[in-house]
Amino acid sequence: MQPSYDSELLNLLTTSVVGRRRELESVVAALAAGRHLLLEGPPGTGKSTVLRSVATCTSSGFEFVEGNAELTPARLVGTFDPSVVLAEGYVAEAFVDGPLLCALREGALLYIEEINRIPEETLNLLITVMSEAELHVPRLGRVQAHPGFRLVAAMNPFDSVGTARIASAVYDRCCRLAMGYQDAGEEEQIVQSAAPLAADLIGSNLLRAAVAMVRDSRTHSEIRTGSSVRGAIDFVLVLKELAELRGTAVDDPSVTLDAALLALSGRIRITEGGSRSAEEIVTELWHRHFAPQTEGPPQANEQSEAQKKA
């Protein structure tokens, strides 16, 4: 049964996804038109969340594939089981379907994350599938795509490590949707939903400050890539645990600073040629949003309580 992409689905999706009305409309429209889709945006913008919600709300299949250099055509398509081949030969029953064939046969959504990390030969295979809606597998034959089959790929266009440029042939065969970060209010809702107990414990003021600090990292002059909303989620969760371990209040400066360092220092990417470390810049961000007003400006060599004890 082919999924129904209509206004009823859109209304259902808005109850399971925070914000993103425009993006949801675009995704539903593209899939309803029978188009394949490329989602572009930095990490933590909800690309996989949107697709999983679409699959759930339409009761359609969902095949998730992590794009990397190890994703060969054989891993994507499938292979013959050697033991069955020895016993029965190259019969259809001996073939073990990979995620691509599963999606083709079942009319499922095939979601490929980080498509710009996969080998060129694997990308060429996907181009063929998008163009012909079928796949020819040696010794197995022709596999026709079910009408419900859609290929949805995602990529972070700002990451240059281990990635390759996407060929124009890919863009020519799918629709493209750019996804940026959500607004502050929606990101607060995401944190509240992801860590409800911790968010309730620390209160709305600290939650708002955590989101503001994370959003501030995206526009800092010394940061090439800032943190996604996952940084705020981790901050809230770690803050709760640190406060309990130390027997202090959740708004204690030493606790909020160490939570910020733990949650953000590994997520930000410093601009090349920068003179300060990630810890020093996170400390500056912390001062902007959490430091008591009586404290002076952050010093370049300021350390957290955990660092001093180490």
CATH topology (fold) of 7-178:
Rossmann fold (3.40.50)
Q: Has residue 31 got a pLDDT over 90?
A: no
Residues of the chain with CATH 3.40.50.300: 7-178
Q: Which tens digits make up the pLDDT trace of 171-205?
A: 888 899 998 888 899 899 999 988 999 999 888 89
Q: Which tens digits make up the pLDDT trace of 36-89?
A: 999 888 887 778 777 777 777 776 788 888 888 899 999 999 999 899 888 888
Q: Which tens digits make up the pLDDT trace of 198-227?
A: 999 888 899 999 999 999 999 999 998 899
Residues of the chain with CATH 1.10.8: 184-309
30 close to 37: Cβ distance less than 8 angstroms: yes
- Range 184-309: architecture per CATH: Orthogonal Bundle (1.10)
pTM of the shown model: 0.75
Q: Which long-range contacts (CB under 8 A, 24 or more apart) does 284-287 make?
A: 285/213, 285/216, 285/217, 285/220, 285/260, 286/213, 286/256, 286/257, 286/260, 286/261
283 close to 261: Cβ distance less than 8 angstroms: yes
Residues sharing a CB contact under 8 Å with residue 98, sequence separation 6 or more, in sequence order:
74, 75, 76, 77, 78, 79
- Got the DSSP string for 237-284? HHHHHHHHHHT--TT-HHHHHHHHHHHHTTT-EEPTT-SS-HHHHHHH
pLDDT band for position 302 (cuts 50, 70, 90): very low
pLDDT for the residue numbered 163: 61
Q: Which tens digits make up the pLDDT trace of 132-180?
A: 889 998 888 898 998 889 899 888 876 655 566 777 888 888 899 998 8
